[in-house]
Structure 1
Amino acid sequence: MRPARLLPAALLLTLLLTACGATSSASTATDGTGSLTLDVGDQKGGSEAVLRAAGELKNLDYKIKWSTFTSGPPLLEAVDAGAVDIGAVGNTPPVFAAGAGSKITVVAAWHGSSEGEAVLVPNGSKLTKSRDLKGKSIAVAQGSSAHYQLIASLEAAGLTPADVQVKYLQPADALAAFTSGKVDAWAVWDPYTSQVLEAKKGRVLTTGQGVVNGLSFQVAAPAALKDTKKAAAIEDYLARLRRAQDWVYTHQADWATVWAKDTGLPYDVALASVRRTHSTRIAVAVDRPLIASEQKIADTFTALKLIPAKVDFADFVDTRFNADLPASTTPAR
């Protein structure tokens, strides 16, 4: 099989799944019965795509207005502004939003493998372990899940960010720097990890497995949660998302086909990313261990002065939708 080609920078910019990025880029609608409209923040190849592929957008008794964002931070800005009722993000954007005093509430969580969260090095690199990163330059998107994964991986190796040269670059710029040899390593997430590996342009030095929490979230606007009818729609929406994720686990190739078409990813890259990351996720409770894990992330960024003041993450969660879900510490699939 021929190695997958690396995506052009323009396409990479549309796939910023958890780092900083631009504002809402598109809006679509899903028809349902009833007069209520749920405003949902989405990312390309995200919730709308997986719900549609799994057949979970049928028989809605409310309408959904989808707004597509390039990443988590601008999506959470829209939640804070009340323009979006709920949306999906990774484990780090809510910490920065909470640090900024945003009006956000984590209402649902998924736990997945952190194998896709990786520090990559070029194939010819002499680096063989995390400790070898001392004094080296590393590209990472500031405030992304990969940013925390890098810090945690350095800590596990007995290093701090001061021991390396951190280069804050968004994925498109980081890819160019990585492939041209301008940085020694790249801390990134799937599908970029799968893209580099499938194209045989690099190898994994270390992953986030065992050092980061592997969580992703649905985050709602407090005003929407106070609205009885919208809260009921959110509960139904979350149930559909959980069923859709179960569908991904049993239909990996089918989801890879849909995801590749929706994002423009090569199929081989999409399938590798689905197997490594997407299909591993299970719905878990928003519980005390989850809050403690996110609090650790917040405290880390506060200590680095990247968040201006201490964050009490417990103030930004709502446990009403936990139902009988397993603990957040339940192993990923």
Structure 2
Amino acid sequence: MPNAYKNPVKPRRHSLLAGLAIALACTLAIPAQARETVRIGYQKSSTLITLLKAQGTLEQALGKDNIDISWHEFPSGLPLLEALNIGNVDISADVADTVPIFAQAAQAKLTYFAEESPSPSAQAIVVAKESPIQQLSDLKGKKIAVTKAAGTHYLLIAALNKAGLTFADIQPAYLTPADGRAAFENGKVDAWVTWEPFLTSVQRQLPTRTLTDGAGLASYKRYYLTSTAYASAHPQVLKLVYQQLQQAGSWIKKNPRDAAAVLGPLWGNLDVETVESANAHRSYQVEAVKADQLGEQQKIADAFFAAGLLPKAVDAKDVGIWKP
């Protein structure tokens, strides 16, 4: 009789062990979640993305979803969006309002996913302090350094129009910010149209005068973009990036000195005071893009087309708009 109580136990034990073996085999058969990489393009003036990159904040946020980041720096906004258009990057950090217009003219399929509210004083036209150029009308016939398709390109057109001049009345020297600074410093151009942090840097380091900034001429919004295909396939990535941008914008305004200490070494070892002053001219207020607020984008597109600088007219609303 005692054996009658022991024998039934053995099959149950074998059954338990077999079940554990099957469960373990199934667990091992499930592949680990594959990691993906988002390629982010940026430029030196892409302050919030630069800050997130330096602090590692964005990597941490995306890493929780098994997403890595590949960083790609560009000298200005136009080559950045060209890279976005041909699929070499997935997300573009902020570019000036003019840049998407040129990209649209090149048939790029773009989607806006965030914007920074206007910062008109973050760009300006400067001349040497002893220059005979005293007012905008004096720019006629002068050689002016400007970065093609940058926000300052539109500021120059708007400023010339205000003075009763056209773009054909000046000699444009299409230069990157670094080359523009060198040409201006060496007297190779009569004026330079530039933006932050290059603007405050030259104002503090060289004897200059400011002919005008963007107030009343160009509101200077900065837009974050992606390809329409990427926006459709990766809304969660855009959501995380959008949230991090908002947090970074808030942090930089609440902690201007700390932000300047981080950014200074990344901006060519600019001193803290220069960086803090430059950042004071930017809003860094990240918001959702709304189709009914693209009126100035259309105004910019029309101005460039009228000046013969676009190959065709552009409908500024012919873009995708991602909603957070």
| Shorter-chain TM-score range | 0.7 to 0.9
Unaligned runs of 5+ in 2: 1-32
The answer on 1:242 being equivalent to 2:246 is yes
The answer on 1:126 being equivalent to 2:114 is no
Instruction: Give the total of aligned pairs.
Output: 285
| 2:107 aligned partner | 101
The answer on 1:222 being equivalent to 2:228 is yes
Q: Structure 2 length as normaliser, TM-score?
A: 0.81
Structure 2 Cα separation of the partners of residues 223 and 64 of structure 1: 18
- Cα deviation 1:243-279 (Å, max 9, x = unaligned): 11111111111111111112323213322211223xx
Which stretch of the first structure deviates more once superposed, 291-300 or 266-275? 266-275
Alpha-carbon shift at residue 44 of structure 1 (Å): 3.9
| Cα distance change on mapping 1:83 and 1:184 into 2, 3 Å | closer
The answer on 1:282 being equivalent to 2:288 is no
Structure 1 Cα separation of the partners of residues 139 and 268 of structure 2: 33
The answer on 1:196 being equivalent to 2:202 is yes
Q: Structure 1 length as normaliser, TM-score?
A: 0.79
| 1:110 aligned partner | 116
RMSD: 2.2
The answer on 1:270 being equivalent to 2:279 is no
- Structure 2 matches for 1:1-333, cutoff 5 A? 35-44=35-44, 46=46, 47-52=48-53, 56-57=57-58, 58-60=60-62, 61=65, 62-88=67-93, 89-227=95-233, 230-267=234-271, 268-277=273-282, 280-321=283-324
> For the Cα contact (< 8 Å) 2:305–2:312, is it kept in 1?
yes
Alpha-carbon shift at residue 148 of structure 1 (Å): 0.7
> For the Cα contact (< 8 Å) 1:54–1:244, is it kept in 2?
no
- Cα deviation 1:48-93 (Å, max 9, x = unaligned): 4312566733343232222222221222122112232211222111
> For the Cα contact (< 8 Å) 1:37–1:63, is it kept in 2?
yes
Structure 2 Cα separation of the partners of residues 129 and 289 of structure 1: 35
Letter in 2 for 1:69: F
Letter in 1 for 2:108: S
Higher helix share: 2
> For the Cα contact (< 8 Å) 2:49–2:245, is it kept in 1?
no
Unaligned runs of 5+ in 1: 1-32, 322-333
Structure 2 Cα separation of the partners of residues 139 and 49 of structure 1: 26
> For the Cα contact (< 8 Å) 1:104–1:219, is it kept in 2?
yes
| 2:4 aligned partner | none
Alpha-carbon shift at residue 298 of structure 1 (Å): 1.1
